């Protein structure tokens, strides 16, 4: 999520006592019976731990998938139908869209299996089982080992575990650290590669409110899309083939039409990405005062450039809509996170905990010997690390994230010694990447982005970290950045499909290395050299130091607060979080109800604004109150609801499940006031936002007329 603390392997697992709150924490399904199920049942859950996770019987975990690379999805029919968010399927929807077939704007619905669209590269992944492998992963590791030796031994042990459990590469094995590396768990996965687009609503339904409403409540977004998993005739994973058949799941979720009311038990089941609840005050201060502000500013510049060009051209809107959404998502999240941390006075609260911990250590000689220098060392490392982090933020956000620079990186494969066969293989791969790149590329937009990002990097970062190519700006172009960028775009083959085609036509083993002289490739290589030569060692060094300190710190806190509730930090492994449907007060004098309705969509309707232009058919259904069996008991059409489940990125697309194990909603966001929950959770501020499953069914049935999909599902009246 945030700073290069990604490097720090900040994933903590602390198994808690019966004092746990239902609305805070992300729990490992394997351990629910031991730590959570009684509390869940007290809160209203009517099933057992085995119904959620089991290796002996079909259970809910068999209906949950990793969708793509960073979302969750769930099975909702016995024909492999997968439900996830619209924003999770957005890249696929966009890839199939053209001016003539604008599925982003108008939606897409396959009325039979033959109309479903394939998505090369898209996968869904099932968890087969998980296992505590701490003893095996730490075999041979001693407390006295330095981090280098420790990591080398652990890596060897993990490799052995992978070889022993993959069953001839039938399964993918992931061994993840918890407790900052004090414990390890193994996750055995199976991946399906033939995943086809089945349905997506109009963008003004699936993305209703756009970036204005993103991370906000009240919310009126029908954020869903539908895909189908295909398998071979034996139900096994297979590459795309017309001969493949719909996957037969072990388990799929029944769908409830009963709706939700305040206080109802809710459970979110999925793959939360990253939380960092145990960061020290020094880290939180760096995030709030340095890292987030810089990243927010950089992304705002990008967004303004893209939006201006997208507003001026439908073609550019389609090309850049997915990129824009990707940039905007965490831009707005970081703004909300900073506001939430400030409102919560997070740094002071962290400092108070650290002071109490330090005072306790003074009374415990043995503990002070082990943990006495931990906080002092944290302060020193973060003080030294902050300027390095700032430079990393700029090089990653401003330069390496430019689509043209990332595209140039693909051509690194041509820089070595190649055989003729290798050249053919690489060039075919590059041609495919080029086709995908130029489909969603507009040269004038790219040129504006390159200019703006080089400028902000040059103006904000010490010359010590400037790429070598920047010297040309002063030496050859007298400091004129615009002339330098003109030079890049006039002389590079990577900025034009036509130029690149000419390069491929003449490509030979002898000419391949000419790419090294391409000005865009050269600036890419220079940026990478700065990162590798001047930043990477410092980042890894701090990673190692901080990993050791956090491993000690969390153990010290557990000794200090034996009765305190600790819970697992998220690390994109399967988790359960549970809470209840609830309203909240975001500010003094402001109250938010726990649900929204179709009436709110009509109140926001504005044909002049793309994200608020409600489709005419939806207006007509609202006017007639034609909601069918999907209306609430009060006759209204509910759209979204909020609850106190502790969620984060990766939980997008996660099912929201009621006390009976039935699907009642689709998780897709958090409230802006609660986005700091990755770092510090506050039950009064934090709410997860979900689409009411009845609105989903209403859109599929009444709006899209895709009733054949409804017939696949198990609807509970």
Which candidate in 62, 211, 223, 309 is catalytic? 223
Percent of the chain with pLDDT over 70: 97
Return left, alpha or beta for 643; rule: phi > 0 is left, psi -120 to 50 is alpha, else beta. Answer: beta
Residues 176 and 205 occupy one common structural domain? no
227: alpha, beta or left, given left = phi > 0 and alpha = psi -120 to 50? beta
Mean pLDDT, all residues of the chain = 93
Rounded distance, CA 145 to CA 125, Å? Answer: 36
In a domain, 116, yes or no: no
Say if 117 falls within a structural domain.
no
Per DSSP, the three-state class of 646 is coil
Question: Known catalytic residue: 652?
Answer: yes
Count CA atoms closer than 13 A to 596's CA, side-chain side.
Answer: 21
What separation in angstroms does the CA of 633 have from each of 372, 597, 602, 627, 628? Answer: 60, 13, 20, 12, 12
Q: Note the pLDDT of residue 568.
A: 80
Active-site residue, from 203, 291, 644, 652: 652
Which residues have C-beta within 8 Å of that of residue 115, sequence separation ≥ 6? Answer: none
Note the pTM of the prediction, 2 decimals: 0.87
* Mean local confidence (pLDDT), 141-166: 93
Reply yes or no on whether the pLDDT at 309 is more than 50: yes
- What pLDDT does residue 146 have? 86
| More confident position, 16 or 148 | 148
Both 405 and 385 in one domain: the answer is: yes
Reference 320, options 473, 108, 97; nearest CA is 97
What average pLDDT does range 567-594 have in this prediction?
94
Is the predicted pLDDT of residue 565 greater than 90, yes or no? no
Rounded to an integer, the average pLDDT of 683-701 is: 97
Please provide the size of the chain in residues. 717
Q: What is the mean pLDDT of residues 290-306?
A: 98
pLDDT tens digits, 428-480: 999 999 999 999 999 999 999 999 999 999 999 999 999 999 999 999 999 99
Q: What is the pLDDT of residue 179?
A: 81
Residues 32 and 633: beta-carbon distance below 8 Å? no
Considering 557, 577, 609, which residue would you say is the last residue of a domain?
Answer: 557
Range of the domain at 235: 4-111+193-276+567-716
Among 148, 165, 192, the domain boundary falls at 192
pLDDT at 17 over 70: no
Q: Is 223 a catalytic residue?
A: yes
Q: Is the pLDDT score of 16 beyond 60?
A: no
Residues 179 and 296 placed together within one structural domain of the fold: no
Instruction: Identify whether residues 443 and 538 lie together within a single domain.
Output: yes
* Dihedral in degrees, nearest 10, Cα atoms 507, 513, 516, 517: -70
For the cut 60, the answer to whether the pLDDT of residue 105 exceeds it is yes
- 579 pLDDT exceeds 50? yes
Residue 3 pLDDT greater than 50, yes or no: no
Active site residue 51: no
Local confidence band at 19 (pLDDT 50, 70, 90 cut-offs): very low
Q: For residue 711, how many other CB atoms are within 10 A of its CB? A: 10
Residue 197 CA, chain-centre distance (Å), reads: 20
What is the pLDDT at residue 644? Answer: 96
Pair 624, 678 in one domain = yes
In this prediction, residue 416 carries a pLDDT of 83
Average of per-residue pLDDT across 227-244: 98
Asked if 297 and 424 sit in the same domain, the reply is yes
Question: Is there a domain that residue 281 lies in?
Answer: no
63 falls within a domain? yes
User: What are the residues facing 655 on neighbouring strands?
Assistant: 666
Closest CA to 609 of 211, 173, 232, 184: 211
Is residue 586 within 8 A of residue 281, CB to CB? The reply is no
Q: Is residue 181 part of a domain?
A: yes
Say if 119 falls within a structural domain: no
pLDDT mean over 66-84: 97
Instruction: Quote the pLDDT of residue 5.
Output: 39
Catalytic option among 11, 39, 62, 87: 87
Three-class secondary structure of residue 472 per DSSP: helix
Residues 245 and 271 in one domain: yes
What's the mean pLDDT in 489-518?
92
pLDDT of 424:
92
Q: Which of 501-505, 528-532, 543-547 has the highest mean pLDDT?
A: 528-532
pLDDT greater than 80 at residue 20: no
CB atoms within 10 A of CB 101: 10
Let me know whether 308 and 378 are in one domain.
yes
User: Which residues, 6 or more positions from 688, have their beta carbon under 8 angstroms from its beta carbon?
Assistant: 268, 579, 642, 643, 644, 645, 646, 647, 651, 667, 669, 670
Same domain for 296 and 181: no
**Quick one: pLDDT at residue 53?**
98
Q: Where among 143, 164, 192 does a domain terminate?
A: 192
In terms of domains, do 156 and 209 share one? no
Distance CA 271, CA 85 (A): 14
Answer yes or no: is pLDDT of 9 > 80: no
């Amino acid at each position: 999520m945030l700073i290069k603390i990604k490097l720090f392997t900040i994933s903590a697992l602390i198994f808690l006592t019966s004092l746990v709150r239902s609305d805070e924490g992300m729990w490992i399904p394997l351990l629910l019976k031991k730590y959570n199920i009684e509390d869940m049942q007290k809160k209203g859950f009517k099933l057992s731990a085995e119904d959620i996770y089991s290796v002996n019987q079909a259970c809910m975990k068999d209906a949950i998938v990793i969708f793509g690379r960073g979302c969750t999805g769930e099975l909702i029919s016995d024909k492999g139908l997968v439900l996830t968010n619209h924003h999770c399927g957005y890249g696929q929807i966009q890839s199939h869209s053209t001016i003539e077939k604008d599925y982003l704007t108008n939606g897409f619905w396959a009325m039979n299996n033959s109309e479903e669209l394939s998505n090369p590269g898209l996968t869904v992944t099932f968890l087969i089982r998980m296992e505590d492998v701490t003893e095996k992963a730490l075999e041979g590791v001693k407390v006295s080992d330095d981090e280098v030796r420790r990591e080398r031994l652990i890596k060897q042990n993990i490799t052995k575990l992978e070889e022993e459990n993959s069953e001839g590469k039938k399964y993918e094995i992931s061994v993840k650290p918890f407790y900052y590396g004090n414990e390890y768990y193994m996750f055995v996965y199976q991946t399906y590669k033939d995943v086809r687009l089945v349905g997506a609503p109009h963008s003004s339904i699936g993305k209703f409110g756009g970036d204005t409403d993103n991370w906000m409540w009240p919310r009126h977004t029908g954020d869903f899309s539908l895909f189908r998993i295909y398998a071979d005739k034996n139900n096994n994973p297979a590459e795309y083939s017309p001969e493949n058949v719909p996957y037969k799941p072990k388990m799929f979720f029944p769908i409830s039409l009963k709706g939700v009311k305040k206080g109802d038990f809710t459970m979110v089941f999925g793959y939360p990405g990253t939380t960092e609840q145990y960061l020290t005050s020094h880290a939180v201060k760096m995030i709030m005062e340095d890292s987030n502000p810089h990243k927010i500013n950089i992304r705002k510049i990008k967004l303004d450039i893209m939006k201006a060009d997208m507003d001026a051209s439908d073609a550019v809107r389609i090309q850049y809509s997915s990129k824009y959404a990707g940039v905007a998502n965490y831009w707005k999240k970081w703004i909300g996170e900073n506001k939430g941390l400030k409102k919560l006075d997070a740094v002071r609260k962290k400092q108070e905990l650290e002071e109490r911990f330090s005072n306790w250590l003074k009374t415990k000689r043995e503990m002070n010997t082990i943990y006495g220098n931990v906080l002092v060392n944290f302060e020193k490392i973060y003080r030294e690390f902050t300027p390095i982090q700032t430079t990393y933020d700029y090089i990653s956000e401003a330069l390496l994230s430019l689509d043209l620079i990332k595209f140039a990186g693909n051509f690194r494969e041509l820089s070595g010694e190649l055989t003729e066969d290798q050249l053919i293989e690489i060039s075919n791969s590059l041609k495919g990447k080029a086709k995908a790149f130029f489909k969603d590329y507009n040269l004038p937009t790219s040129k504006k982005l390159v200019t703006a990002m080089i400028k902000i990097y040059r103006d904000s970062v010490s010359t010590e970290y400037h790429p070598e190519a920047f010297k040309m700006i002063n030496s050859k172009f007298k400091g004129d950045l615009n002339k330098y960028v003109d030079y890049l775009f006039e002389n590079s083959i990577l900025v034009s499909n036509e130029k690149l085609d000419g390069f491929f036509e003449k490509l030979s083993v002898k000419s391949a290395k000419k790419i090294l002289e391409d000005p865009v490739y050269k600036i890419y290589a220079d940026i990478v050299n700065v990162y590798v030569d001047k930043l990477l060692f410092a980042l890894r060094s701090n990673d190692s130091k901080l990993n050791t300190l956090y491993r000690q710190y969390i153990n010290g806190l557990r000794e200090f607060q034996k009765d305190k509730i600790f819970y697992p930090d998220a690390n994109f492994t399967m988790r359960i979080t549970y809470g209840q449907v609830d309203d909240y007060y975001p500010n003094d004098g402001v109250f938010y109800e726990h649900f929204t309705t179709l009436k709110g969509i009509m109140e926001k309707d504005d044909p002049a604004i793309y994200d608020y232009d409600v489709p005419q058919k939806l207006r007509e259904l609202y006017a007639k109150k034609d909601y069918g069996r999907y209306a609430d008991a009060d006759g209204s059409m509910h759209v979204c609801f909020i609850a106190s489940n502790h969620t984060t990125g990766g939980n997008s697309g996660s099912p929201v499940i009621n006390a009976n194990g039935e699907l009642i909603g689709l998780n897709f966001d958090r409230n802006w006031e609660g986005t700091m929950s990755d770092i510090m959770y506050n039950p009064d501020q934090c709410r997860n936002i979900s689409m009411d499953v009845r609105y989903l069914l209403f859109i599929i049935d009444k709006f899209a007329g895709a009733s054949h999909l409804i017939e696949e599902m198990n609807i509970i009246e």
